[in-house]
């Protein structure tokens, strides 16, 4: 896999990770734990924003395929956190 593809993949995977953390935060009842997970989610969005700036400097556009794929993966993980509970975000 070439560098451009890896950067596109990382950019889209950050979105999936952020969605997963949304589900994880929503599935826990402890307020402190929820706040800590929300901080991690915010870091994922920040990483994604930083990658986009980096990509624009290199004239790399996001992959529509990766965006769709990781959107679905992230949302599946997010919603499964409510059904499966703590198990999904831990593995």
Over residues 28-71, the pLDDT tens digits come to 999 999 999 999 999 999 999 999 999 999 999 999 999 999 99
Q: Is the pTM of this model over 0.75?
A: yes
Question: What is the pLDDT at residue 53?
Answer: 98
Q: Is the pLDDT of residue 89 over 70?
A: no
16 burial via Cβ count (<10 Å: 0-12, 13-18, 19+) = buried
Alpha-carbon span 11 to 5, nearest angstrom: 10
Question: What is the pLDDT at residue 91?
Answer: 62
């Amino acid at each position: 896999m070439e560098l451009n593809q890896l950067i596109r993949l990382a950019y889209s995977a950050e979105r999936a990770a952020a969605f997963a953390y949304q589900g994880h935060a929503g599935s826990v009842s402890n307020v402190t734990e929820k706040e800590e997970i929300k901080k991690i989610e915010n870091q994922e969005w920040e990483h994604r924003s930083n990658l986009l700036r980096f990509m624009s400097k290199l004239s790399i556009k996001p992959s529509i395929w990766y965006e769709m794929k990781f959107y679905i993966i992230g949302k599946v993980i997010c919603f499964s956190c409510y059904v499966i509970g703590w198990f999904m975000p831990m593995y």
